[in-house]
Structure 1
Amino acid sequence: MRFDVCTLFPEMFESYLGQSILKRAIDRELVSVHRWDFRDYTDDKHNKVDDRPFGGGPGMLIRCQPVFDCVEAVRQVDDENDEPDELISLTPQGERLDQQLAAELATRKRVILLCGRYEGFDERIRLGLKPREVSIGDFVLNGGEVAAMVVIDSVVRLLPGVLGDETSSKYDSFSESGLLEYPQYTRPREYRGMTVPEVLIGGNHEEVARWRAEQSLQRTKERRADLIQQQSQDDAG
């Protein structure tokens, strides 16, 4: 799978791309992440990519020209893939990123991520390029770079061969069951008066599976009852 990240700060990804699961996936050529700098495509002699908003107001907006030219250049790169790309703009106004959306994106061969800055993009970028708008939550960041990393992270772990244990993502919160993940324990059995539940030590796999299902349901009821309500509505529909 290929990611193309269009940003004003490509250097922000340097450390991120060199760590842990993502680095191993890149080394094994299961995924590739390419960075593109909007400044490389501006026609402004001072290398500017932003300007003041018409009508007044605080801050600056990223201009159309460098974004359009950057995206068009990215799309011209031969990635040996005939399938259309998924162009995504990271914005708090977009649809909420969840496990279902991450799983959908994991089926794509190529995803292009647009990272905004300042007060955002000129509206004609949305109208002309028609990106899919995605939000990672109801809050505002300094830019779309961190949100892009969240999208990449949530998608990459769902790709075949990325995780050491292929069943790991199956039991994540919000995955197949739609519930929160059950609590887990490792050695030692006792720590500062807190002990591992006996059912996990007994070796009865059926009892362990039953306990985990019960704990998952209980934890979801306590922390995210909305997930159970949504699941009920989906089943009824």
Structure 2
Amino acid sequence: MTTTARHEGKTALVTGGSRGIGRAICHRLAREGALVAVHYGHDEAAAERTVKEIEADGGRAFPVHAELGVPGDADTLWSAFDRALAARDAEPGLDVLVNNAGITVPRHIADVTEADYDRVFAINTKAPFFIVQRGLDRLRDGGRIVNISSVATRVAFPALVSYTMTKAALDYLTLALAQELGPRGITVNAVAPGYTETEINPTLAVPEIRRRYSEASVFGRLGAPSDIADVVSFLASDDARWTTGQWIDASGGVHLGV
């Protein structure tokens, strides 16, 4: 793949960067010159593997560990990030923050427990809020924030009600941050994937469900993590300097006819 150096000299942090969409985003930003912090919550081996893959491809990356959804998670993440940068003798600060980490609770409203609800909101909504809040003094003027939302926030999807509510809240955070951080030249946008080939969706192992999800796109296929990463790379670049507060559908035209 032909790449450019449009992120040369930048430092990026991708939460949930060791697998799936996050991993693809890390690879894309690194190929375009960024020093990438690959955040992970539990799977250290996956994070180390992602870092090694990036380095083998000529890029620069390092792992950052912090469990999200627990008290003090944002402070833990930023402390680990600061230490890792210092260990590399890299310049402090951040240019690109991608809030990608998230979990699903595939249950209808009657089956969602309070524990389910609290956990999905803690990881998908509360963690990004405080990661941004605690990171504002690290984010450089002219920086970029990209929140990974979901196309499900635009259609009724009862089987994912609590998950979709967390992403709808993230959509509003995107708007509020874009307004507040605009004077600093910081853009804030949300990218909304549709049915994407990642391990976060175990139902894709069911042939009938896989076929139905593929056919929901006008292109007749599931999305690939790289499809999402390409959009994130654009929003993280100077090319997107005049785009902020936007919700970008990256679903492959899912449900256009509904």
| TM-score normalised by L of structure 2 | 0.33
| TM-score normalised by L of structure 1 | 0.35
User: Which of the pair is proportionally richer in helix?
Assistant: 2
Q: Answer with 1 or 2: which has the greater Rg.
A: 1
